[in-house]
Structure 1
Amino acid sequence: MNVQSFLITFREALEAILIVGVIMTYLKRIGQTQWNKYVWIGVVLALAASYGTALLFQTVLTGFSMMGSQNYLKIGIMLVSCVLLAHMVLFMSQQSRNIQGAVEQKIAAILTVGGALNMIIHSFLVVVREGVETVFFFAAITGGDIQLALQSWGALFGLVLAFVVGILFFKGTKRIQLKTFFRITSIFLTMIAAGLLVQAVGIMQDIGIMGSMFRTPGGEIGEIYNLTAIMPEHPLDEEQYLRDSGEHTLINGQVGIFFKAFLGYTHNPSLEEFILYWAFYFVIMVLLGVQKKRHATLKASTAHIS
């Protein structure tokens, strides 16, 4: 259980730290650190909400009688976070083209009271999603006794390691130019957003909210390929594969569960998961292209007037 607590805490905390770190680093690089307080407000509110969820689960809920409600909450948070992350990618891309101009003044004009609320909501959703997921996962590995997982050395060590990795990551970005930083973090955030979308689709199909155009002869949702032998998405899948085939997987299931939580990896995607995953990238690329074209047109018009 200690190892499981460590892996859960590490991957959930690391994702939240990296995304919040991207926001904080971005604000620092453009000289708008006065907005940091709104990010921290969102983080603190999310931690309080996560603690409240854990307390509610520990003292009120019994077993998994509320699993359906948990799934709806999880789906909602994933979809909203996906949209906000996509918006952030487009926003960062737009600002990266204005680096040669007065970026600070333009950002100051954009980040109004609505911007402050945006900061709070976005940082809240980023952290609360990880916090609520951690509560659910801890409940799963302990049979509902979340306190047992929270008090384990695994949870503490996972949190500490996540902070260390996050600090090392952002110290390394100091040597990267702002435009390059935008591009790298945009790719990173797009991958996370796509992962959230496909995870939400998978949950909706599992609980029957969403159907599938591709089903097996038995009526079950079909898979377009299966990579269990290469990298299962969960240690339990690895154990089942070993039991059924007598062979070990190429990559450990612990690696798969990290990529599943981090990037939405699944070893046997449905048709809808596969299509929507890549369609999300396509839509983002189209929107970035449109944004770039508008910027070029505006720049040309400004030059012509001048």
Structure 2
Amino acid sequence: EPARGGGSVVHVGDALLGVGDGVAASPPEDADRDAAVVPGAARSGLAEAIEDAGIVPHEGLVLDSDPAGRSLAWAVRYVLSIRTNVVIILASALGYFYVAGMQTFAIVFVRGRFDVSQSLATLMLVGVGAAVIAGTLASGQVSDRLIGRGHVTSRPLVGGVSLLLAVAFLLPGFGLSSVVVAIPLLLLGAAALGAINPPLDAARLDIMHSRLWGRAESVRNFFQTLLKSGSPLAFGWLSTVLAPPGPADNLAQGGGAVGLTRAFLVLLSVLVVGGLVLLVARRTYPRDVATAMASEAATSR
């Protein structure tokens, strides 16, 4: 029985603890002891798809020793040498940048753009939150099912398509002044934004040795926090720059939401960039997964 914690492996042929009898079962003599269960990818069936496709790892990135004891500086260099990881960090950071700006100015935008009360604007944002949850639940299931059918690159694909769909829905949603027509589009855009995270979160584990997950997340959160912290300032400054001339109180509200509307539309470009780089990452993702699998197998012996 493997030790707890998620980092252990059981080689085929190792002694197994009998269920209920407390004794070890003898392994078959001809068992293949080189086969190992790899954390992360194997649990989702991705390892089998990678092997069936004959994907070979990057030999220079395959770890031959346990990385748990390596320094933080070494870990940062290593996780940033994995190309798919860099793309995922960039795409997710851009997505969080946009979402942070929307969250900051959502009430001001909805009230100014659609001329509704504070209570109605808040109620509309509750609907947006529900749409985000729906998108989050749907995308993880979709990407897992696609992997089960042998589509190795489904996770970066679903993430990239979700970002581009968010742009496709939000672009007309922000441009329309009719609340009846705009709100369904904004809800669909919110669902697409929510759909980004599950496949990317899973992909980050697929391409990383299990004993580097914590430090890899530290690197990702560092860049993500940098962009998120500057997002409200960027949205607010751009909305003021793009607002039409008017009284000071009008400018304080983003030009009656005109400035905010223009800022939201212009900054949709960051989501386009994120979606496109994720689609490009489909080329590097399979080999990076194979590299993580090879590293797990090499360090488990």
TM-score bin (small chain): 0.3 to 0.5
By percentage of residues, which structure has more helix? 1
TM-score (norm 1): 0.43
TM-score normalized with structure 2 length: 0.44
**Which of the two has higher C-alpha Rg?**
2
Q: Work out which structure has the larger RCO, using CA pairs closer than 8 Å and 6 or more positions apart in sequence.
A: 2
